[in-house]
Amino acid sequence: SDISIKHFPQTDCPKQNSHQHIKTNCSFSIQQSNDIRKMNRFTFFCLALYLSNTAGFSAVKKAHTHSLDKFVIGTAALAKKDNPELFLDAAYERGFNTFDLARTYGGGESERIFGRWLAKHGGKGSEARQNLYIITKGGMGEDKYGDPNRRRMTLESLKKEVHESLKSLDIEIIDMYMLHRDDPRIDVGTIVDWMNILIEEGHIKAWGVSNWPLDRTMEAIEYAEENEMVPPTSNSPQFSLAVPEVPVWPTTVSLSGPEELSTIEWYKQNNIDLYCWEVLAKGFMAKPDLWCEESVDREALNRPVVIGSDDWRLQRIQKAYCTEDNYLRRSLATELAENHGLTLAQISTLYALGISDNVKVVLGAGRAEHLDELLQLQHLELCNVAMNRLTLADETAGPREPVLITSGQFFD
């Protein structure tokens, strides 16, 4: 039977402003509380499960809730790790088999590191290669940040990038190749034609898009079906508990927030997987005290900065995520995490997984212990009340209603 985790009784838990981080000193209704301090994290987690019931703002334990292929190991910062191949070993040994790469990550270094690591495990044709699902992205050329005025992609430039990725990864075929950004200057039908050429030539097994708006994705599927071609089967948008107020990065697309639930449902009904990036909102939804409201210099968010600089990155991140509603969402998620013996990052990940069955989370785990924390989530999910309160940034909301869409909802 399902076992849920509920709030433990609390005493003397003064709260700060509801939009600030809630730092609670919870008193648990368990005898010999001194023994709890001696328990390791896993023991406390199991005890929390045992003592809970199914009511309220909770997480629920269920068998076989999330398969490991829903946890995608991101590699954007792989080249910055002290021992990236050791980290890849740790992920593979724990059963993680889906890896998200891109030609732009580390100027191509992430792909090269991954290729060297795979070669040590037998390379092409090895058991390791057969067990892996390799995603990589391209189509941006030399552009690093999503410049809408970058040099326009051509079939020749796209093929060149694909061949460079194959060489760096040292593999014969890419399992899923995504276009890292949309380029509305190029007709959708032309792009579908090009991607099918890559499939026919044996370079990629399947293709998808990243940061594409819904209307262009729909158009691509319709064109492919009308011409008996292979349609895109995935999209990679930003999605997190923290709803970005503005695009986090240039020419990116977000599906975060209650107004996007019907769009996510459309993707589900059309068998499009969503590989969601920045699920932890660059740490905002992983560290309860990161960028507290009083520490954010609002005036600095609009000052001129150099594109690509650390100031530019911080400015874009804070402008997107450091909003009143997001601080409330973080407070609610932090409280939920503390009362369940989980971390804020775990609650944030469960939230993303709970949005829809077609959602996969792309996470750039920093250390091996972070991988272990992900493994704990396979048999957990947030209840409807928790999902709805977090979605709406409303600490009094009830259960989430089913999302219904009509056939003409997305068309004029």
Type of residue numbered 55: A
pLDDT of amino acid 410: 47
Give the max Cα distance, the chain. Answer: 70
Type of residue numbered 363: L
How do the pLDDT tens digits run along the chain, 412 residues long?
A: 222 333 323 333 333 333 333 333 322 233 333 443 344 554 444 444 433 333 467 777 777 679 999 999 999 999 999 999 999 999 999 999 999 999 999 999 999 999 999 999 998 889 999 999 999 999 999 999 999 999 999 999 999 999 999 999 999 999 999 999 999 999 999 999 999 999 999 999 999 999 999 999 999 999 999 999 999 999 999 999 999 999 999 999 999 999 999 999 999 999 999 999 999 999 999 999 999 999 999 999 999 999 999 999 999 999 999 999 999 999 999 999 998 999 999 999 999 999 999 999 999 877 889 999 999 999 999 999 999 999 999 988 887 777 655 444 544 3
Type of residue numbered 258: P
pLDDT of amino acid 18: 36
pLDDT of amino acid 38: 41
Distance CA(400)–CA(383), nearest Å, equals 9
pLDDT of amino acid 110: 97
pLDDT of amino acid 15: 37
Nearest in space to 278 (alpha carbons), one of 93, 74, 34 = 74
Q: Name the pairing type of β-strands 71-74 and 59-61.
A: unpaired
pLDDT of amino acid 366: 79
Distance CA(328)–CA(278), nearest Å, equals 19
Q: What is the pTM of this model?
A: 0.84
233 neighbors 273 (Cβ within 8 angstroms): yes
9 neighbors 53 (Cβ within 8 angstroms): no
Compute the CA torsion angle 330, 287, 304, 180 (nearest 10 deg). -90
* Close Cβ partners of 248 (under 8 Å, ≥ 6 residues apart): 238, 254, 278, 282, 316, 317, 320, 321
Q: In the numeric block, which tokens belong to residue 349?
A: 């990940």
Nearest in space to 289 (alpha carbons), one of 341, 350, 338, 349 = 338
Could you write out the DSSP letters of every residue in 46-99? HHHHHT--S-SS-EEE-TT-S-GGGEEEE-TTGGGSSSHHHHHHHHHHTT--EE
pLDDT digits (tens, 9 = 90+) for 227-249: 999 999 999 999 999 999 999 99
For 110, other C-beta atoms within 10 Å of its C-beta total 27
Beta bridge mates, 276: 361
235 neighbors 209 (Cβ within 8 angstroms): yes
Sheet (strand 380-382) strand order? 3-5, 59-61, 380-382
For 15, other C-beta atoms within 10 Å of its C-beta total 12
| CB-count burial class (<10 Å; 0-12, 13-18, 19+) for 219 | middle
